[in-house]
Amino acid sequence: MSGGSRLDPWVDAYAARARGMTASEIRALFAVASRPEVVSLAGGMPFVQALPLDALAETAARLVRERGAEVLQYGSGQGDVTLRGQILDVMAEVGITAHPDDVIVTTGSQMALDLVTRVFCDPGDVVLVEAPSYVGALGVFRAYECDIQHVAMDDEGLVPEALDEAITRVRAEGKRVKMIYTIPSFHNPAGVTQGPERRRRILEIAKREGILILEDDPYGLLGFEGAPPRAIRADDDQQVVYLGSFSKTIASGLRVGWAVAPHGVREKLVLAAESAVLCPSNYAQLTVSEYLATQPWREQVKVFRELYRERRDALLDSLEQLMPAGTTWTKPAGGFYSWVTLPEGLDAKAMLPRAISALVAYVPGTGFFVDGQGSQSLRLSYCYPDADRIREGVRRLSGVIESELEIAQTFGTGHVLRNAQGPANPAPDLL
């Protein structure tokens, strides 16, 4: 062993792809933020306490008692065939029709992100992502040494003209664009949703240019108004790989998600999955399958929707009442998140230690970009704390922003510590 350091003697031995794998420097701060006196508007943890826990416990126990030899055994690399059929019912809610053979069950949709990237991307291949984008996906793209390029969003999500322009620019640089990664519904972290016309135009561009769309849709059923938005995949089964998840509609701890892909891609994904994990957990899959078969899951999704709607309202009302002038935020119609932009001159990451001292936590915007954008923004999650805690959190946060503004007015904005670092791995509960 040569080189290395006292802290990690293997540091010179790691593969190039491991260089981009670093723990976020805000991770340590969040260890403090998980103390009960801190109102955390940081984490994207679903409120699993609202599940019928006794029924789930009974399901899990019954499975081991009555089908132990099956649930405790290895299973198929593609996932349980009954569950794959049930996933079709779930996807029908967003307009998707498919065959159980088109579905591959994964260990959360996070694993599907990994498999798709593994199958499609060589180092240096370009992945176009929204600005901002889901930090867990950026981590995957980084791990496979992709060239990640952000594309502008507005209040209706990814901007088609900006997408067109990015494809032209990147190709003029001699690079290959492999995927357009998008979260069309109730975006994490931006809190916005693409309308039908937006989706149509994005699909049209992808088709014209021959680029795969990776459609990530964990929040699609958690809209607060009307029917769930129609998935892009519902209108094209060849151009899109669609990712779904039971993390937000049942339980994130079960780690059951899925991908739906064109036939050839799906075969590759299964082979990649087998080499990564052999097969997804039979126990977790059959727990989900039994739950879907025996519990009123649509009613439960409605319970979650109502709960998150109430919390969204608490957040938006208190932001409206309390935030200093010059602060803006998105108004999510579903999902877990609102994206807040601070008044000119303030830096959300520099402000975070002061917010945590004031007993409120959020995720600074820079974590959702690879190129240093986002310093004036932050993500607030309303999924976990109850409405009163959310109001208290916003009250504390507005106090912190006001005192930052006073400091900026007194000393100028030079005191702000600018930090253009890309996304490093935050703790999983912050994703």
Enumerate binding residues for ligand PLP (CB under 6 A): 44, 108-110, 134, 136, 183, 188, 216, 218, 245, 247, 252, 257, 431
Q: Are 398 and 324 in contact (CB under 8 A)?
A: yes
**CA 254 – CA 246 distance, rounded (Å):** 8
Question: Which residue, 218 or 423, is less far from ligand PLP as judged by CB?
Answer: 218
DSSP calls for 249-301 = IIIGGG--EEEE--HHHHHHHHHHHHHHHSS--HHHHHHHHHHHHHS-HHHHH
Nearer to ligand PLP, 183 or 397 (CB): 183
* Residue whose CB is less far from ligand PLP, 361 or 401: 361
Task: Give the pair of three-digit tokens for residue 250.
Answer: 């049942």
Q: Which is nearer to ligand PLP, 242 or 329 (CB)?
A: 242
What sign has the CA pseudo-torsion 31, 32, 36, 41?
negative
The C-alpha atoms of residue 346 and residue 322 are separated, in whole angstroms, by 17
Burial of 317-333, coded b for 16+ CB within 10 Å and e otherwise, reads ebbeebbeeebebbebb
Whole-number minimum distance, CB 49 to ligand PLP, in Å?
Answer: 17
Closer to ligand PLP at the Cβ: 323 or 382?
382
Rounded to the nearest whole angstrom, what is the least distance from the CB of residue 244 to ligand PLP in the complex?
8
Q: Are 186 and 228 in contact (CB under 8 A)?
A: no
Q: How far is the CB of 1 from ligand PLP (least distance, A)?
A: 35
- Closest CB to ligand PLP: residue number: 108
Minimum Å gap between C-beta 111 and ligand PLP is 7
> Shortest distance, CB of residue 166 to ligand PLP, whole angstroms?
20
Write the single-letter amino acid at 189: P
- DSSP-assigned beta bridge partners for residue 40: 361
Q: Given the complex with ligand PLP, which of 120 and 258 has the nearer CB atom?
A: 258
Looking at the Cβ atoms of 191 and 401, the one nearer to ligand PLP is 191
- Closest to ligand PLP by CB, 151 vs 323, is 151
CA distance 103 to 182: 19
The strand ranges marked E within 77-133 are 103-106, 126-131
Question: Helix, strand, or coil here: 230?
Answer: coil
Question: From the CB of 248, what's the least distance to ligand PLP, in Å?
Answer: 8
Q: CA 362, CA 353: separation in Å to the nearest integer?
A: 10
Give the number of other Cβ atoms within 10 Å of residue 126's Cβ: 23
For ligand PLP, the closer of residues 346 and 367 by Cβ is: 367
What token pair was written down for 99? 């065959």
- Nearest approach in angstroms of CB 430 to ligand PLP is 9
Q: How far is the CB of 157 from ligand PLP (least distance, A)?
A: 13
| Strand order from edge to edge, sheet including 126-131 | 103-106, 257-260, 240-245, 212-216, 177-182, 126-131, 147-154, 157-158
Looking at beta carbons only, is 38 or 383 nearer to ligand PLP? Answer: 383
CA distance 431 to 423: 11
Which residues partner with 337 through β-bridges? Answer: 381
Q: Give the nearest distance from C-beta 198 to ligand PLP in angstroms.
A: 17
- Nearest approach, Cβ of residue 181 and ligand PLP (Å): 10
Start-end of H helices in 121-159: 135-143
